Amino acid sequence: MEIRTRFAPSPTGYLHIGGARTALFNWLFARHHNGKFILRIEDTDVARSTEESTQAILDGMQWLGLDYDEGPYFQSKRFDLYREHAYKLLETDKAYKCYCTAEELEQRRKDAMAQGKTPKYDGRCKSQGAGARVQGANDKPFAIRFKVSPGTTLVKDIIKGNVAFDNNEIDDLIILRSDGTPTYNLCVVVDDATMNITHVIRGDDHLNNAPKQILLYEALGYPVPEFAHLPMILGSDKTRLSKRHGATSVMAYKEMGYLPHALVNYLARLGWSHGDQEIFTIEELTEKFSFENVGKSSGVFNPEKLLWLNHHYIKEAKTDDLAKLLEPFLEVKGYAVGTIHELSLPNIVKTVQERSKTFVEMADAAEFYFKENIVYEEKAAQKFLTPDMIEIFEAIRTRLENVTTFSHEAIETVFNGIINEKGMKLGKVAQPVRVALTGGTVSPGIFEVIENFGKEKTVEKLKKAIAFIKQKG
């Protein structure tokens, strides 16, 4: 039988970390089994669903590389189907009309809470006999409630094992609102059944919904799918991950300069493991993924480890690829790609990639290459741009000007010549030059910096530094 999984977000916000991991696990499971992965937008709550959210979710999935084989399906376009199912349950006496208003229900819930009792629907509309009021063509507004019969319902969960629920604990749930729109539990069941979903993989915050849904499958005469309830992702304070724990939007990570694969790798390893392995390609992930190795306990989202992974993948990446990805981050800083043509971006990337954990950091680290007029950091200038350096800078400048092939080796030779003659340590020369060329005391290796700038720019910046020293004092 073909494995079919689905990711079913509600479009009431962007794709967040938790949703992304649920999507990823669904995707991995489907890909591992050569099955199908389906995307379904659960927008039955017309009031809260937005098109922007749908688009944001689509963007997030695309960025992560979670491609789907079917969909996106929209529940809002399938209302007739849900209604048919609701009425079918009504006709077969597995559901009943409820004339209680939302206000009444709310009041009763409050009263129950006030008395310290568990809020629960009292079933009054069930007992008053459907027959009496079902007929009338001009019925008062009513919702349709599903009749939960006594007994126990067993959820056979791939991750959690067998979980038994006493049906007494389950309310007669509303499946069709008084305005005729269907509710979540009905829609999920109808969709998963009609879309032939074989494995329902979702967060374990849905575990409590599983028995209700199983009862619905049974009442509707549909086969019950397999369930796999994933443990939650928590914030650092071990509560449900939310905005106060930092960025939770997948696309925010794109903007912060993360590689999608770093996020995918991180998310996969949060809750799933394969021995001691930390680094996985997509191929390895799909090949090795299995629920056998998905843990039962919730996990804390650890931004530091994600950052480490991102750094890892940046270090491993090809400079050409990184250069392309870096461009937008340079543009944000005001360096239009067109204006930085004289320098080779891949060569620049090569010098900053191992010291950049994100593209934002990389853009910062590379910024000095593009600044027309560098401003020396005050402390750095004071310490390193001193009168005794004028002679050194002059020597470097003239010798550099005479170099025929402006290579790393040639530059190094120039420096070695000077420090040998003067009996200086390289550090004594390199730091002042670094300040002269980059404005600060932190940069890639000085020879690479000079090589990237090229003869002309290097000479120009040295001259500027000399002038600065002279003018200063």
Partner RNA sequence: GGUCCCAUCGUCUAGAGGCCCAGGACGGAGCCCUCUCAAGGCUUAAACACGGGUUCGAAUCCCGUUGGGACCGCCA
Residues with active-site annotation: 243
**Candidates 54-62, 94-102, 388-396, 460-468 — which segment interacts with RNA by CB under 7 A?**
94-102
The least CB distance from residue 189 to RNA, in Å, is 12
Site size with RNA, rule: CB under 7 A: 88
The least CB distance from residue 182 to RNA, in Å, is 7
Verify binding: residue 160, RNA, rule CB under 7 A. yes
**What part of residues 133-152 is at the interface with RNA (CB under 7 A)?**
141, 143
Among 5, 22, 26, 44, binds RNA (CB under 7 A): 44
The least CB distance from residue 133 to RNA, in Å, is 14
Dihedral pair phi/psi, residue 294, rounded to 5°: -95, 130
SS3 letters across 255-323 = HCCCCHHHHHHHHHHCCECCCCCCCCCHHHHHHHCCHHHECCCCEECCHHHHHHHHHHHHHHCCHHHHH
**CA nearest to 64, candidates 73, 52, 74, 56:** 56
What is the Cα–Cα distance from 435 to 429, expressed in whole angstroms? 10
**What part of residues 442-461 is at the interface with RNA (CB under 7 A)?**
442-447
Verify binding: residue 167, RNA, rule CB under 7 A. no
**What part of residues 194-223 is at the interface with RNA (CB under 7 A)?**
204-209
**What part of residues 376-435 is at the interface with RNA (CB under 7 A)?**
425-427, 430-431, 434
Among 121, 329, 335, 393, binds RNA (CB under 7 A): 121
Please measure the distance between the N-terminal and C-terminal CA atoms of the chain and give it in whole angstroms. Answer: 83
Verify binding: residue 48, RNA, rule CB under 7 A. yes
User: Do the beta carbons of residue 472 and residue 385 sit within 8 Å?
Assistant: yes
Total residues found in the chain within this entry: 473
Cis check: omega of the bond before 432, within 30 degrees of 0: no
Among 50, 52, 107, 119, binds RNA (CB under 7 A): 119
What is the Cα–Cα distance from 182 to 175, expressed in whole angstroms? 6
Q: What are the structure tokens assigned to 418, written together?
A: 């000077």
Quick one: DSSP state of residue 439?
S
Among 115, 118, 127, 373, binds RNA (CB under 7 A): 118
Quick one: DSSP state of residue 72?
E
Among 101, 128, 167, 347, binds RNA (CB under 7 A): 101
Verify binding: residue 39, RNA, rule CB under 7 A. no
**What part of residues 262-301 is at the interface with RNA (CB under 7 A)?**
269-271, 273, 275-276, 278, 292-293, 295-300
What is the Cα–Cα distance from 437 to 201, expressed in whole angstroms? 55
CB nearer to RNA: pick between 334 and 423: 423
Among 281, 302, 339, 398, binds RNA (CB under 7 A): 302
Verify binding: residue 163, RNA, rule CB under 7 A. yes
The least CB distance from residue 174 to RNA, in Å, is 4
Q: What are the structure tokens assigned to 83, written together?
A: 């209604």
